[in-house]
Chains A and B, each alone.
Chain A
Amino acid sequence: MNRLTLWFHRMGSPPTFYRIAGTWLAWLFALSAVTGAAGLYLGLVEAPADYLQGESVRILYIHVPCAWMSLFAYGVMAVNGFIALVWRIKLSEILAMSCAPIGAAFTLITLVTGALWGRPTWGTYWVWDARLTSELVLLFLYFGVIGLYHASEDPRTGARAASLLALVGIVNIPIIHFSVKWWNTLHQGESVRLIGPTSIDISMLVPLLLMAVATKCYFVAALLARARVALLELESGKDWVRALAMKGEPRIEAAA
């Protein structure tokens, strides 16, 4: 067994995952706070106002990273849902279901901040444009996954049903991404590209990317925190959870 396979096997063990996730999430929250503080300072204080949008451009330093995260969280949920359905790995079920509330939170922020940016820029809070509507559909998909997961008394059955919905809903992700190209929308096209030229000034790009790092670190940290709680619930009858509840730390060697 090579090192990578061994690492996956070790991480698949609930007590090992619980312990390692506990260490990682503290560092990730710290990294998220530092990059977020730097991004907010640069975005709110140092970056200039936009020549067309004026001061309302400062809303985009949270709107755009949250929009990216709303899609990224769905992708992580669908991949874990696929693994949960095919290989029935308990940890993947937990990770998939833990993604849903965080993704819904990012989608809600995206929609609300987008509306608050749209009023001074477009003159309206909402239009039934392809990008906005498909993002709203994404929020409903997240709600559907959360609802379906909690509809079943057995969490593992609920997780598998919700994973299936998450997989079906993945079709919405390219629709959201390409909506500004496929249809004539009020929403502008992409300004930041992974490949190719970026059309925004460096003074605005740096705080935007810092906020993107902050939201990504927050997502992973929040995901690990939620997964740890779900793992405790699911494994509440196991020795390592009993040891943790009675003492404080899981006895990994006893459970391994």
Chain B
Amino acid sequence: MNHAPFIIASYAVFFLVLAIDLAAPLLGRRRTLERIRAQYKRAQRRGPA
């Protein structure tokens, strides 16, 4: 039996799953900071309550 497809598939799964896992916090941090910045800017435009 040719083992190469199993080895390639295993390493592909390894890198794919870890890449997805890593992308979540890296993109999430930027999105969260942008959302917080937008919230504060909206609050500043409205002025003090």
Of the candidates B6, B7, B17, B25, the one whose C-beta lies within 8 Å of that of A229 is: B25
Given known pairs A62-B11, A225-B29, A229-B32, the reply for A54 and B3 (CB within 8 Å) is: yes
B22 & A222 in contact (Cβ 8 Å cutoff): yes
Within the complex, what minimum Cβ distance (angstroms) separates A114 from chain B?
9
Within the complex, what minimum Cβ distance (angstroms) separates A192 from chain B?
19
A236 & B39 in contact (Cβ 8 Å cutoff): yes
Cα(A246)–Cα(B29), bound, Å: 14
B residues less than 8 Å from A232 (CB atoms): 29, 32-33, 36
Segment with Cβ contacts to B, from A3-11, A104-112, A175-183? A104-112
Of the candidates A56, A63, A226, the one whose C-beta lies within 8 Å of that of B25 is: A226
B37 & A222 in contact (Cβ 8 Å cutoff): no
How many residues on chain A are close to B (CB under 8 Å)?
33
Within the complex, what minimum Cβ distance (angstroms) separates A237 from chain B?
9
- Residue A16 at the chain B interface, CB threshold 8 Å: no
Cα(A184)–Cα(B21), bound, Å: 35
B residues less than 8 Å from A225 (CB atoms): 22, 25-26, 29
A62 & B10 in contact (Cβ 8 Å cutoff): yes
- Residue A151 at the chain B interface, CB threshold 8 Å: no
Given known pairs A59-B6, A62-B14, A109-B13, the reply for A242 and B40 (CB within 8 Å) is: yes
Of the candidates B3, B32, B37, the one whose C-beta lies within 8 Å of that of A233 is: B32
Segment with Cβ contacts to B, from A116-124, A126-134, A165-173? A116-124
- Residue B28 at the chain A interface, CB threshold 8 Å: yes
Within the complex, what minimum Cβ distance (angstroms) separates A254 from chain B?
16
- Residue B49 at the chain A interface, CB threshold 8 Å: no
Contact with B along A92-115 (1 / 0, CB 8 A): 000000000110010011001100
- Residue A204 at the chain B interface, CB threshold 8 Å: no
Cα(A109)–Cα(B16), bound, Å: 10
Q: Residues on A close to B: CB < 8 A?
A: 54-56, 58-59, 62-63, 66, 101-102, 105, 108-109, 112-113, 116-117, 119-120, 218, 222, 225-226, 228-229, 232-233, 236, 241-242, 244-246
Known: A56-B6, A101-B24, A116-B6. 20 other contacts (CB 8 A): A54-B3, A56-B7, A59-B10, A62-B10, A66-B14, A109-B13, A109-B17, A109-B18, A116-B9, A116-B10, A117-B10, A225-B22, A225-B26, A226-B28, A229-B32, A236-B39, A242-B36, A245-B36, A245-B37, A246-B37
